[in-house]
Amino acid sequence: MIYYCEHLVKDMDETKTFSRALISFVKYDNPKTIMHPMLVFVLDILWEHLARLTFFLDRVLTMISFVFFLLATCILNRPDMIQDQTGQVLLASSRALVYSLGFLRLLYWHLSDIQGVCPQGHRKSLLHAETSAVLATGSRNL
């Protein structure tokens, strides 16, 4: 059993990439195959140890950004708030915070992808990006 799990998680031809077999099972898009106990076991381990914390932190950052967006567009954008100098400063700073949170998030994602490409080569990065996209979306049409 461990032998099969190892081949489902790690690609034996390359280092530090997900297995092409796992990607193939996801792309195959057959509910009977993807619900096999071995695949469910491996995907649960990947979710619990690799993806869950990242997903949770991303959702928390999204909610914080959403709260500041609502603050900037609904509460601080009222005419009585805009007339006051303090209200204008709060509106500008909250809008800047919303934009900077979104920008810094995208910048982090892109810089981490670029950092992953440089030492390992272009082909491995594309495989990693494809694997991440397939596992994140569950879609086989990328």
What is the distance between the alpha carbons of residues 43 and 37, in angstroms, rounded to a whole number? Answer: 10
Condensed to tens digits (0 to 9), the pLDDT of residues 92-116 reads 898 899 899 888 888 888 887 787 6
39 in a structural domain: yes
Residue listed under structure tokens 């998030």: 105
The predicted pLDDT at position 1 comes to: 58
The answer to whether position 142 is within a domain reads no
- The answer to whether residue 94 is domain-embedded is yes
Is residue 123 one of the residues assigned to a domain? Answer: yes
Average pLDDT, the chain: 76
- Over residues 56-82, the pLDDT tens digits come to 888 898 899 899 889 888 888 888 888
Beta bridge partners of 10: 18
- The pLDDT value recorded for residue 27 is 82
Full residue range of the structural domain in which residue 72 is found: 2-137
- pLDDT per position as a tens digit, 124-139: 555 555 556 555 555 5
Q: What is each CA distance from 106 to 32, 36, 120, in whole angstroms?
A: 36, 36, 22
Q: Does 98 reside within a domain?
A: yes
Provide, rounded to the nearest whole percent, the portion of the chain with pLDDT above 70: 68
Measured in residues, the chain has a length of: 142
At residue 63, the pLDDT reads 92
Q: Is the pTM of this model over 0.85?
A: no
Q: How many domains does the chain have?
A: 1
